[in-house]
Amino acid sequence: MCGLSRFLRGLLFTCYKVLVEETLSVRQQEIFIMTPFTISLAQASYDNLDLLDSFDVIVLGGGPAGIAASTTAAEKGHRTLLIERLGFCGGAAVSGMSGTICGLYNSVEDPEAAQPQQIIFGFAERMRRALDIENGLTTPQIYGKTWVATHDCATYKKVATDLLRTAGVNILYHTEMVDVLKKDKTICGLILHTRSGFCKVRGKRFIDCSGDADIIFRSGLTTTKGNNGVIQNPSMMFKVGNVDVDRYLDYWGSDTISPPKVVDKLEKRKELIRKKVWLFPTVNPGEILVNGTKITGFDGRALDVTNPVDHSEAEQFSIYQAKEFFKFLKEEIPGFANAYFIDYAQEVGVRQTRTISGIDTLVNNDVVTAKKRKDSIARSSWPIELHYGSKPKTEWLIDDYYDVPFGALVPSEGHNIIVAGRCLSAEHEALASCRVTAQCFEYGRAAALATDISLLASLDYRKIDGNQIADLMRDDGYSEAGLIF
């Protein structure tokens, strides 16, 4: 049976089972039934494909990590290609409207009585400053025991485009990486699918910033998913306009996280499955960004969005949850009575899929015990923000931070590939902290600095000294003034 008919048969079978079966345990088996995917086609079939071009560095994915990685690699003088399936950069921060830069600031017991201290600089600071200059970023807003800054997605696209073009990055939008060309254990190119069909590109080094560890997965290298396959739920973000912001702030308070009186109201709404939510005033007058939905299947089952059937169901369920939540805001929250629904995010926001098995791993205990490291590529004071169940769990790290090790970006197998962003090697709850965008920018920068060394010294990524990368990161403002610990 050919790959396509096998795929369609799996799809039909799963749809049928979705209709007739109810329990979570049976549904988990369905995901298993969905897996006769052909991960890789015969490498010989790629010989006849046109070669588009060859590059020193190929970066997959234009999210926060990919923007930083490709800009930095090009600035180091390497011929760099960035591949992105959408028509713009920003990843979940823009297409998923994730909306704020988290992870920039320290955490304290009482943010009302304190001033935010920035703890991470480097590329995160470049983006923060560039957004700020273009009036695309709010001043710090209280989020529980720390602060965030809400970005404007349109400005984010512009700022990212400026950075990439100025650095001389070659960009291929509307292009999806679908497979990997390998010689023994070395990756030599990628197979791309474009509007004109398939083609291939060749590269010396690869930085996987796909969020889903797509190159790693398609290379047959080890990946894992969440807590024994259970991952955090997605959310559909949306924006509303014409809000009386003063009235809403009078009622809601200065913390962007819902106060107990709002949680009580949410508890009474059976149709809304998330009971703790965040609202962010944006740079635009009367506009509020809403992070208020939890996305499951229509029957309440947890979804795995690497499965196309689940991903499609997530997008559909999102439409209804977001609209129900908007209705709640209009009916229950002062200041929203005359609000209108601006739009959904372009796609459902995905927090977690595959993570790699690295030569080092950020473990849950490292976060909880604020572990410091010499080979640190980023520090973080962001809580464990675990989206699972009706109320996301937030576990704070007050007046302290932990370090993310360089080795979490380096796969334990493979020679010329490194990752950056949310697919780094981290345990489930650790990932729920270290996945936010300020840190993702720094992972991208670290991966590009390592790529520079790897190319210049012809070194396998696994042979690169993490302390050396940490030193380079520090030289470039990683621990500037403002660090208070």
Structure tokens at 4: 């396509």
What is the closest distance, in whole angstroms, from the C-beta atom of residue 263 to ligand FAD in the complex? Answer: 19
**Residue 422 CB, nearest distance to ligand FAD (Å)?**
4
In three-state secondary structure terms, 451 is: helix
Cα gap 67→121, rounded to integer Å: 15
How far apart, in whole angstroms, are the C-alpha atoms of residue 431 and residue 428? 5
Minimum distance of ligand FAD from residue 179's CB (angstroms) = 10
Task: Using CB under 6 A, pick the residue from 124, 177, 207, 221 that binds ligand FAD.
Answer: 177
379 lies in the binding site for ligand FAD (CB under 6 A): no
Q: How far is the CB of 290 from ligand FAD (least distance, A)?
A: 10
Based on the shown chain and the rule CB under 6 A, indicate whether residue 119 belongs to the binding site for ligand FAD.
no
Task: Give the whole-angstrom CA distance, residue 403 versus residue 378.
Answer: 6
- Report, in Å, the least distance between residue 188 CB and ligand FAD: 18
> Helices 260-267 & 308-332, crossing angle to 10 degrees?
110
Determine if 203 is a binding residue for ligand FAD (CB under 6 A): no
User: Which residue of 30, 58, 63, 432 would you call a contact of ligand FAD, by CB under 6 A?
Assistant: 63
Evaluate whether 236 touches 344 at the Cβ level (below 8 Å): yes
Q: What's the Cα-to-Cα distance from 319 to each of 241, 283, 300, 442, rounded to whole Å?
A: 18, 25, 15, 33
437 binds ligand FAD per the rule CB under 6 A = yes
- HSE-up of residue 168 (Cα within 13 Å, Cβ side): 10
Q: Report in angstroms how near the CB of residue 366 gets to ligand FAD at its nearest.
A: 18
212 binds ligand FAD (CB under 6 A): yes
Return the residue of 57, 58, 64, 321 that touches ligand FAD, per CB under 6 A.
64
How far apart are the C-alpha atoms of 94 and 60, rounded to whole Å? 17
CB atoms within 10 A of CB 173: 14
- The tokens for 477 are 């403002």
Residue range at the interface with ligand FAD (CB under 6 A); choices 97-105, 195-203, 320-328, 449-457? 97-105
- Size of residue set near ligand FAD by CB under 6 A: 40
Name the maximum alpha-carbon separation found in the chain.
66
Q: How many residues does the chain have?
A: 485
What span, in angstroms and rounded, lies between the C-alpha atoms of 418 and 466? 13
Identity of the residue, 62 or 281, whose beta carbon is nearer to ligand FAD in the bound complex? 62
Out of 18, 73, 101, 409, the only residue in the binding site for ligand FAD (CB under 6 A) is 101
List the x/- string, 407-436, binding to ligand FAD by CB under 6 A.
--------------xx------------xx
Contacts with ligand FAD by CB under 6 A lie at 60-66, 83-86, 91-93, 96, 98-103, 176-177, 209-212, 214, 235, 237, 291, 349-351, 421-422, 435-437, 440
